Every structure is written in structure tokens, then in C-alpha cells.
Amino acid sequence: MLLGVDVGGTFTDAVLVDGERIHTAKAPTTPDDQSQGVLAAIRAVLDVASAEPAAIDQFRHGMTVATNALLEGRLARTAFCATAGFTDIVELGRQDRPRLYDLAAARPAPLTAVERRVAVAERCGPDGVEQPLDDEEIARVCTAVAAHRPEAVAVVLLHADRWPEHEQRLGAALRDQLGPDVHVSLSHAAVGTFREYERGATTEVDAAVTPLVRRYLRQLAARCRDEGIAVPEVLQSSGGVCALEDAARRGATTVLSGPAGGAAAAAIVARATDQPDLLCFDMGGTSCDVLVVDGGRVQEQGGGEIAGRPIALPTVDIHTVGAGGGSIAWADAGGAMRVGPQSAGAVPGPAAYGHGGDQPTVTDAHVVLGTLDPAVPLAGGIALDVDAANAAVDRLAARLDLDRATCARGILRIADAEMAQALRVMTVERGLDPRRFTLLAYGGAGGLHAAGLAARLGIRRVLIPQAGGVLSALGLAAAERRRDRARTLLLRGDAITAEALRPTDDGEGVSMAYDVRYAGQAFELTVRPERRDPSALREAFDAAHAERYGFADPDATLELVTVRETHRQAGPPVALGAVDDARDRAPQEGPAVVSLAGATVVVPEGWHVRCDAQGTRWLECPPSIEPIAPAPWERDR
């Protein structure tokens, strides 16, 4: 059996795969100690499957420990060592503003206070050592760092991506003096590519989150051993899994661990349904994650961002907005209704959960309007409290001078608008026509909003898998093993040879990607040519440049900036499930509400819904209906 467990902001999802049979369960997330919720979800899914822990062959885990630490600012006490004159590199950042037209918008403060930044008297240039690092300076730096009593240290020396010896010597000395309980992150190992700001910021993040990630993972591993459960592998931001101890040593690789599970699941759905072009959105209790599968390939990027901080590591290309079932509706100072990004989370949760929440959320709006049936408990056994939901929405309605139903519809319309904009960011703003995609909706709340969002974007087909409520956990169970390495070369023109394009360790399962630009440009495009030779690289880059910017310059000198090498080992094959009863596959026509395990699907009036042999619901808008028809809650009752 294969086990996948995905920790969300509200629920922790578990999927147990036994051949073509899929068993699912949810348990409330336990923010103070996520491992408690993980074990509760595992026990629940084993109970559903009538299985013993020893039956689990592989356990894959997606978590939000690093993400939550960055969002909430609860991080390890970190010291920052940098080449003299460069200790403030993260604070200086780049000259661009976070929001172009908001002059008051500020970047997040560095994770290391100025008094814990230690200058190192050494210097490497692009061509090698310019000022040696001697033993006396190493001893001085170690003493200065130790005086701050850090839990972690980030070492970011100039040009260490090309000349790492100084970092290696200083790192070894810091580990000897500070002991094994203090984590030391070296920039050449944590990142390995050029651009000092991005390398410094990523290394600082790695140092600050790794002690928390390590503590959590080792605690989880101990609890799994106590209960006879296999120790988990951990999902990285790249969408591939790695050994638990590898993740415990490099916490920054897990900052997008949770959302990346959906990417693996989306690839499974694309193959199983023969729909290679999918626009995917995962709506859970706290946020909505959007990603694109184009031509059967999940879109990736060489770096991402979390909480306003750059992460110069391979990540699935995901855009996240604070719109989930637990997103709180409120009135701003101007009297306008707003939804999110604040969330009721797992504790206390929406008012309808009856756990003490009293602020109106998206889930409460659905309860008020009847799209969630109070007679049907939610996943995890949560019974809906209609009176509490009504009271929460009434309080907001009174502030806005609205009746209850109008206020509830407004909450859902605003949430839809926020998610539709996120879908446009990943398509329209990148030159992709959303109408050529099929919308894949998953997460506990995805099916509630799928058809309405599709209508806004002119999409006529929506897919919702049988395990849609826990699809990210299913993707975890099938995720590939993956190891990434990136190295900056900065080769130009004829210096780009076939030898430079080869991997350092060739073999089965190795794929290559290259960051390329025209000489004189400041930013690169990542391309994956079919062959590892300069002419194929040229063709691939010219085509990518023309697609992105509308023109190409075949006569311009090419510059190869970074080579990215990925070693993959395919994950186990996983099906989406099976439906044996032909009655369950009979087509229906909207309006209707379809209940799935862990999710609810709203079918608008006139739309058709059918169920295939794998249990996937296909919602389709017939040609006779305008696809821009409003969602059910946008109509007056």
C-alpha cells in the first residue's frame, strides 16, 4: 500500500492506495504540532481501509512547517556571515519596488537582525581569490558568531558559487565550535548559482527554517516508528520527494512542499483523462493554489518566492492567493466588503464548524445559501452549525447594511473574483488563452467554485476526480524521487559547446534545462531543447523568446547562464480510482449538488455532468449556453 499525507491550513488529508482501490480520510490540522494531525489522519485512513500500519510500503509527506514559519515569523535565531562590506546584502535587495505604484510598500525585513550580521575579512572575485581567508580570521568570526548564541548560521561569501573553499573552511570551523545542534547553511551548497542577493536571501531562509523542519521531521519519524508506520519521504518544492534526513538538512527545499503535491496529482489526471492541457486550482481551507499543465508537462521555474522572499531553488510554478473555505469576510475602512487573506484556519475554523469561530467565512456563506447541506457532515466528521453560520454572516451584513443572503452571495462573488484573477495571472498574463484548457478543480472547496470560475474564463469543461477533496495527498503517493543541481557557467557565443551542455553525472532519468539570454540582457528564459547541442539550444531559445516577448533575434550572441540538472526516479503507478456501479455513472443535468468523499460539487443550471470509469466527474457547458453565465450564488433568489 502507498500512503500520501498532505498537511493543509485547515485539514490534514490522507490517501491510502491499494492497487486500484483508493481510501481517503481527513483530520483537523494541529498547528502547534502538525505531527499529531498527521498521525490522526493516518489512523483514520487505516481504519477506513481496515488495514494495519505494517501494510504501508511507502509513505510520502507534504508539509507546511517551513511555509508557516516564514508567514508567521516564528523562525530559528539566525546569524549571518558575509564578506566584509556585504553583510547588508539581503536588506538592500534590488532597486525594484514590491508594488510599482505603491510608494509606501516595503519588503519584508531580513530574517537576521543587524547586530547578528558578522563581516568576514576575505574576498573572491569572478576569477578567484583576491583576499585570502586566514585561520586567525576564521577564529575571530567563530567567536563573534558564538557570542550571539544562534540556533542557525547562514554563510554567504562573495562568489562562493564559483569559489566555495572559503565557505567550506569557515563552515567546518563554525560546526566544530557551535556543535551539532546549531545548523550551518553554506550558500554554495544551499543554492549553487550566482546573483548574490537571491543566493543570500535563500541561504538565510534555509538557515532560519531548517532547525524547525529538522525538529518536526525527526519527531514525526519517531512517532511513526512507535506505531509501526514506515518513515516518510518528504515532498520538495520541485514536486519530487527526497529522504527525510535530506529534507531535515535543507529546510528551504520544502517551503512549497504542500502545494507541490497538487502538481504530481495534476500530471496523473492529465494522463488518465487524456487531457494534456489543464488549468488547475486547489482550493482548501486557507488558500487557493493555481498551476498549469501544458502539453502534459507541469510548469516549473528555477526559483520562486514565499512571503516576499526570493527562493532561488527549483519549484513548481504555482501562484497562491488567500482565498479558501476559511477565508474571513470583513469590511474595510471605506465600507467595502473584503475576503481574506486572513483565515479562520483549523482553530477555531469557520463559525459553521461549531468550534468557537464567530467571524464569517466562505464556508459560512455556502451554509447560509444552502450549497452545503447541514444534514451531511463534512470530512472529518464535522457537523455544520447553521445557526452559528447565520449569526456570523448577519454581523457582517449589519455593518454593510445588507440582508443575510445578499451578504453571503457577496462573500462568494468576491472569493470567486480573487481566484479568477489568480487563474488569469497564470494564463492571460503569460500569453496563454484559458479557453483552450480544461479546468481541473480539487481541494475540499474546489468543486464548489469550479463551474463558476470556468464560466468567468470562458472554459467549457471542468474535471473533478473522485478523490478531488484529497487529490494533493494522492499526488504525494505517486510522486517521483528527484534530485536537482544547478551551476552557473556564464558562457557566451562559441564557448557554448556540447560538452558544457552535458550533465555532470549522466545516466537514466537525467533531464537538463538551461537558463539562456541574449548577450546584454539581464534576465534569462529556461529552455529544454530536445538535443544537448548548441544548435538545438539556439532554436529552443529563439522560439521561447518569440513566444514570451513577441520577437526573436537569431543573429544576436547567445549567453548560457545556468545549467540545471535533474535526476528523476519515477514514482509508483497510481490510478484515480474505479466506479463499478453503472447507476453511479449515469449523466445528470444541472442545477445539482454532487457529494464526493471530502468535497462537494456545484453543477450550474444547464450544465451536464457525467462520471467516467475512474470516478472523475466531467462538467461540461453545452454550446447552447453562454459560458459566462453567472455562478448559482450570483443570481437573485
The CA distance from 24 to 475, in Å, is 13
Nearest to 117, CA basis, from 187, 204, 230, 197: 204
SS3 93: coil
Nearest to 310, CA basis, from 163, 195, 158, 162: 195
Residue keyed to cell 481496515: 50
How do residues 141-170 score in pLDDT, each as one tens digit? 999 999 999 999 999 999 999 999 999 999
The CA distance from 238 to 314, in Å, is 5
**pLDDT, position 637:** 39
Task: Using 50 as the pLDDT threshold, list the residues of the chain that sit under it.
Answer: 636-637
Domain residue limits, the chain: 71-215, 256-480+585-637, 482-569
Contact 65, 34 (CB under 8 A): yes
**pLDDT, position 353:** 92
Topology (CATH) of 71-215: Rossmann fold (3.40.50)
The CA distance from 553 to 545, in Å, is 9
How do residues 302-327 score in pLDDT, each as one tens digit? 888 887 889 999 999 988 888 889 99
Residue 462: strand pairing partners: 439, 619
Is 32 buried (19+), middle (13-18) or exposed (0-12) by CB count in 10 A? exposed
HEC readout, 556-609? CCEEEEEEEEEEEECCCCCCCCCCCCHHHHCCEECCEEEEECCEEEEECCCCEE
The CA distance from 188 to 298, in Å, is 28
The CA distance from 621 to 632, in Å, is 14
Q: Where are the beta strands (DSSP E) in 58-215?
A: 58-62, 78-83, 117-120, 123-125, 128-131, 152-156, 183-186
Nearest to 411, CA basis, from 394, 425, 423: 394
How do residues 483-511 score in pLDDT, each as one tens digit? 999 999 999 999 999 999 999 888 888 99
**pLDDT, position 380:** 66
HEC readout, 538-563? HHHHHHHHHHHHCCCCCCCCEEEEEE
Residue 271 vs residues 101, 275, 323: alpha-carbon distances, Å: 43, 7, 28
The CA distance from 263 to 242, in Å, is 16
Residue 37 vs residues 132, 225, 346, 573: alpha-carbon distances, Å: 51, 16, 11, 27
3-state helix, strand, coil in the chain (%, to 5): 35, 25, 40
Contact 138, 145 (CB under 8 A): no
